[in-house]
Chains A and B, each alone.
Chain A
């Protein structure tokens, strides 16, 4: 399959070139730092909430955990933004790698699961603790599995590629 030409156009743009080639400390790796901090803010608290739903630290009351969702959405915003810049730096590399699509799909499902947890477990204040945890357990397992998948797919992006830049195979 031919690599679409617009990826080359994108890659030749000033911003993409700067992100890729700048020796500045604020270039590519700076974006990568934000991507990792975002990961910590989204998946960190989500993991803690999943563990709680699975029965770890059962003494933690569920309703006040709601305020942590704001932090997770902030982390997600950081990662969507930094993610776009990372793709902009190496568009051909990202879009020609099947693992990239796997990662995006898994993120979609993981965020969807997080929203489901928010709605089904935290937004329904009429539910008893027992009913909440019955609903929450399955979602928590899926959440953990999906985020582990996201991290794995993300890490694998560093070790897999078809093209480094347009027309240059890895």
Chain B
């Protein structure tokens, strides 16, 4: 039963162009800062590079997703080769995972470095490897994307051994999509995990937010923060299962206003969490003991965060009835 809502229209090609340069250039900037942090031993440079990686991992999500809508618009033009678009999509479907892993490792490193002087050595090495691979894969994604429209940059790189190796690992978009939806129990399992992730996230981060707002005031705030890594893990589960679900039904989600707004709300909610930890809001809260009020700024951030996460839940629930709410 579809709702009689008006059909929205969205300019996916434009949005895709607006977003898709960030993961490429941004990750390069991140790698640059990361390398500089080895030379000049300033904590700030290292931290900045990690924050850039996390930001790019997040921006990659809408950049990737708007590609589907852009493709639909472009294949209508007979001068555009669908084979080139497929190649670009395959390149993106490989790059996305390395970007998300880099982002996850960067979150871990930020968490580790908040307590110790620097992240664990194994993590530093892992970030170096994954961010470098991500840059390579992102460049390739950008190249194959550019070649769709720009005849003048099309090169004969298909023949090279490196390209053949890459193509071997690259998923075929159609096969990947089929793999996600061919078995309904696999789909049910992913959705199950998506709800487990939701509970972990809202149970821990929601609890911290509520306490900062003044609920259950007899709790000191600082120890609640130790629950947050479990919430971040829940978020990680949901990025994974959410991306897989999107790959399973890309056109379904693309033409759904609830889905588009949900992704927007997620990005804002994470930004709010970033504000909490990166401004002095969190440090102010750490000193708040039993029965005490958190500072106004922290309460404002916590309230916004809580509102946004619940908005994510509500919008997620309306995805199904609001299918086809964005014009094809």
- Residues of A near any B CB (own CB < 8 A): 21-25, 27-29, 32-33, 36-37, 39-40, 43-48, 51-52, 56-61, 63-65, 67-68, 71, 147-148, 151-152, 154-156, 158-159
Contact = CB atoms under 8 A, between A and B. Distances in A.
A155 B318 contact: no
A33 B226 CA distance: 29
Contacts of A37: 310, 313-314
Contact of A25 (B3, B188, B223, B316): B3
B195 A48 contact: no
Interface in B273-313: 290, 310, 313
Contacts of A64: 216, 218-219, 290
Judged by DSSP, the binding face of A is helix
B222 to A, nearest CB: 7
Contacts of B204: 44, 47-48, 51
Contact of B1 (A21, A60, A67): A21
Given A57-B224, A59-B223, A60-B223, A68 B199 contact: no
Given A33-B318, A48-B227, A147-B199, A40 B222 contact: no
Contacts of B321: 28-29
B121 interface: no
Contacts of A21: 1
A1 B216 CA distance: 51
B103 interface: no
A32 B317 contact: yes
B98 to A, nearest CB: 30
A123 to B, nearest CB: 16
A8 B230 CA distance: 45
Given A23-B1, A48-B204, A151 B199 contact: yes
B188 A155 contact: yes
Contacts of A59: 222-223, 226
Contacts of B192: 151-152, 155-156
Contacts of B188: 155-156, 158-159
A64 B211 CA distance: 11
A40 B313 contact: yes
A29 B320 contact: yes
Given A21-B1, A44-B202, A64-B290, A155 B313 contact: no
Interface string B1-35: 11111000000000000000000000000000000
A40 B188 CA distance: 19
A51 B318 contact: no
A39 B1 CA distance: 24
A33 B227 contact: no
A148 to B, nearest CB: 6
A24 B204 CA distance: 34
B207 A151 contact: no
B220 interface: yes
A10 to B, nearest CB: 19
Interface string B32-64: 000000000000000000000000000000000
A45 B211 CA distance: 12
Contacts of B195: 39, 151, 154-155
Contact of B203 (A36, A45, A61, A156): A45
A147 B184 CA distance: 23
Contacts of A63: 218
30 contacts: A29-B318, A32-B317, A33-B314, A36-B313, A37-B310, A39-B198, A39-B199, A40-B199, A40-B206, A40-B310, A40-B313, A44-B204, A45-B203, A45-B206, A47-B203, A57-B226, A57-B227, A58-B223, A59-B222, A60-B224, A60-B226, A61-B219, A61-B223, A64-B219, A68-B207, A71-B210, A151-B192, A154-B195, A155-B191, A159-B187
A108 to B, nearest CB: 19
Contacts of B206: 40, 44-45
Given A21-B1, A56-B226, A155-B191, 8 more contacts: A29-B320, A36-B314, A37-B310, A44-B207, A48-B203, A57-B225, A64-B216, A151-B199
